[in-house]
Structure 1
Amino acid sequence: MRTSSPPSHRIPARPVTDRWAYKPVALLLLVPVIIAAAGLTAVVIAPPFVGMSIGVKELDKKLQAAGANFTRIPPIPQRSTIYANDGKTVLARVYLDNREIVPLGEISPVARRAVLAIEDSGFYEHGALNPSSMLRALAANIRAGKVVQGGSTITQELVKLTLGDPTNRSFGRKFQEVALAMRVEQKYTKNKILEMYLNQVYLGNNVYGIATAAQFYFHVPASKLTLTQAALLAGMIRAPNNYDPLRHPRAALLRRNDVLNRMIGLGPTNGGVTYQRGAKAKKQPLGLAKNVGQIHLPTPPFIVDYVKQQIHDNPNGWYSFLGATAQQRDKALAEGGLSIVTTLDPSWQHAAQEAAGRCSPASTTRRTRSIRSRPCISRGRPSSRTS
């Protein structure tokens, strides 16, 4: 569990070009899976697959069985924030994954379009899978003898991020991911899937989700992301460490322009941009915020440790709604996206700390007790002033 601003700890990105054994027959076996997963259950695979005795109906049954235990996408871990008594002054952030979750409506339309353009431009037209995209990728990978192009949809990527096992790259696991993607499309709307994906993705420098990335790299909310900013973040999704604008600014700029080129190619009527707007954006610098990545928080006052200890110890059962055990409550604090409003008055906190050394033990004790009342805890952002 971490407190306050994000450390420089880095998490490796998922490899993009992991090699497969060059076995064309094994790769061709993916074709019936693609057809079956696309829902074409009324036909049987034509030659050259007839000899394999594999029918689409049988594959479809297996896909349905593989995803039978799916119920929902698990909650996405989100950082908790501890505030002063005004509900606005941030005292500390506590997290395992540095992530702020926002609804889709609070992500700028141009940011959504940029991600869709480079990751899955047909997202709203196809189902859980995009057979044509997968077949194109299959052909490219056969020609190269390795994986050089992906054909996954955003739904498939969401499944890999939330339900998949990144250490298991077996065909059986991929088959199950296809089945789960089909279930996800049945349960959630396209907008909800996109919202979960944008909040889930890793964007380098221990930053998760597009809202956190907008604050980290540009010091703006996700709703205010511009075209160039959105294109930079969208380009990082595939390989966030390789396209890290802090360590690899040249690669990040080239990748950003790849996204802009893709948006120009789509055009404004298909979720992209006009040539004029895209060309102008490509001439812009990265535009990172001054002091990028530095979130200026005060030194956490002792009340932060007090709040964490109170939640852990659960005196009088006050915090049982966060979990029956100390471990469950600690997990809720680190991953539950809690907003905790304390009774600390920021107007006198600094003066009180400066004067602490001059105070007698008795007066220090009285002042300490005056703010050790029960904090107000809610999920999500505080909606009103708490005194």
Structure 2
Amino acid sequence: MPYTVQGVVARGKGEPVSLETVHVPDPGPGEAVVTVQACGVCHTDLHYREGGINDDFPFLLGHEAAGVVEAVGEGVTDVAPGDYVILNWRAVCGDCRACRRGRPWYCFNTHNATQRMTLADGTPLSPALGIGAFIEKTLVAAGQCTKVNPAAPATVAGLLGCGVMAGIGAAINTGGVTRGDSVAVIGCGGVGGAAVHGSWLAGATKIIAVDVDDRKLAWAKDFGATHTVNSRTTDAVEAIREITDGNGADVVIEAVGRPETYKQAFYARDLAGTVVLVGVPTPEMTVELPLLDVFGRGGALKSSWYGDCLPSRDFPMLIDLYLQGRLNLEGFVSETVGLGDVEEAFAKMQRGEVLRSVVVL
């Protein structure tokens, strides 16, 4: 039978979020209802509230979540009621040109639930990133549910659903960081901190964290940074070059999403080095570079979508690393809050006081 639950909704651009009654339908073919146990407060949710993604209000916010499958619809075989899952926003189709070429992490036709969750008056909701997880139960495509070891608590497991996966994947999957590399990460919030930690996991020997906030630089050291640079007072490009014997870093990861920091990343890399853009720019932003510099420096300029992850491959592996004590997921959790505290969590995030607030249900 359908569910009536409480969820966090953004009704209009820039308006404070509100806790609303939401109707969740029974899962249809290919769908699942998941009881959400915890959900991280990600900057993307704030982008939705501010109208930075699109204007399809009202939005049901939240997407960085873990929980237990409550019910599944017709034809679902990969998950069953009682399974402990992390929700992902790229449920690969298996049939598009990227999937057929063996690159499902670039899937061009990812799945979401067909049915819509609604407000009490019947108004359809737009779930953030096709998930909508600041809610007691949510409806998703079954492929958005990735089974993992239930020994990992939802407060940390859910973070792999977006920010931590994006950062770790930007380093390992997109940037190809490996043993002995030098890496610079520009912007050390949740995603950038995860890129630092991913570089450490991969065996990089020099990991340079760059930010304008000393608190974030201190957090980056906890995740494995060997050097820190406060770019408010120091030229980041010159500092990165000095630390890397005048060469620049093998891989530079830009986790801010701004033209000026992208240029820093471009000029802070070694010849034939790699730049990875994982920070999300806004639509009006542009970047201008001398074409001769692009040609003359060689290497690669890459964008990282969701850390180029394949949830079915990467989520269980990273949970195993966490359970082995090799992945510091707890370090990303600044506080746990309730469903009614999301607006204040946004304010703390904007002030740079937290890496992640996590809503616990």
TM-score normalised by length of structure 1? 0.26
Q: Which has the higher helix share?
A: 1
Q: Which has the higher contact order (CA 8 A, sep 6+)?
A: 1
Tell which structure's C-alpha radius of gyration is larger.
Answer: 1
